[in-house]
Amino acid sequence: MATIDLIVLGMIKAQPQSAYELQKNVEYRNISWWVKVSTPSIYKKVVQLEKKGYLLGEIVKEGKMPEKTVYHITDQGDKYFLTLMEEASGGMVRLFLDFNAVVMNLNFVSESKRAELIGRMEGGIQELREEIKEKSEERQHVPLTGKTILDQQMRLTEVLTEWITEFRQEYLQEGED
């Protein structure tokens, strides 16, 4: 499933825009928090989707500004968008947490390093929680769908906080036995 395709098509479906505007919207919405997407990859994806016939670029000039290409979704793009929506909504939920690679390798470092690394994970979860809280307060004007994603992310940090606290206690205690 091409999540980045779905994001790009959805944002352009909502409002035709240039690749630069799309990149800025991805940054503003912090999409890279919850989907593996880099801002530079957006432009490449727009070009790929245009080559496949899912987007149509139109060169426009506004006032004294330089020309830019504004992308619109095509009928073929609408069909592909719907297919991606159906696939994404019907598939198994996958949670990829980068720190799981650390968890699975903790036994290969010293006890003191284990405690330090678990502390770093705790700090990262707390940092994410604070940032989501801040973004939620800043973005009261976002649509319900955006608020729902922020709420979902906040709830996940609550569960992760509970999990890491229990894990720390059990894992470090296990090392003492």
Q: Which residues contact 169 (CB under 8 A, 6 or more apart)?
A: none
Q: Which amino acid is at 75?
A: D
Residues making up the chain, counted from first to last = 177
> Is the Cα torsion angle 94, 95, 96, 102 positive or negative in sign?
negative
Comparing 30-39, 109-118, 163-172, the range with the smallest average pLDDT is: 30-39
Does residue 177 surpass a pLDDT of 60? no
Q: Which amino acid is at 149?
A: I
Q: What is the mean pLDDT of the chain?
A: 88
pLDDT per position as a tens digit, 18-28: 999 999 888 87
Q: What is the pLDDT of residue 163?
A: 94
Task: Tell me the C-alpha to C-alpha distance, in Å, between residue 20 and each of 14, 40, 103.
Answer: 16, 10, 38
**Helical packing angle, 39-51 and 19-28, nearest 10°:** 140
Mean pLDDT, range 124-151, rounded to an integer: 85
More confident residue, 93 or 5: 5
Q: Give the single-character DSSP code of 108.
A: G
Q: Which of 26, 23, 27, 19 is nearest to 59 (CA)?
A: 19
Quote the percentage of the chain above a pLDDT of 70: 97
Residue 149 pLDDT grade (very low, low, confident, very high; cuts 50, 70, 90): confident
CB-CB contact of 55 with 12 (8 Å): yes
pLDDT per position as a tens digit, 63-108: 898 999 999 999 999 999 999 999 888 877 777 777 888 898 998 9
Q: What is the pLDDT of residue 175?
A: 64
Q: Which parts of the chain are beta strand (E)?
A: 55-60, 68-73
Q: What is the pLDDT of residue 1?
A: 47
> Is the Cα torsion angle 46, 52, 53, 54 positive or negative in sign?
negative
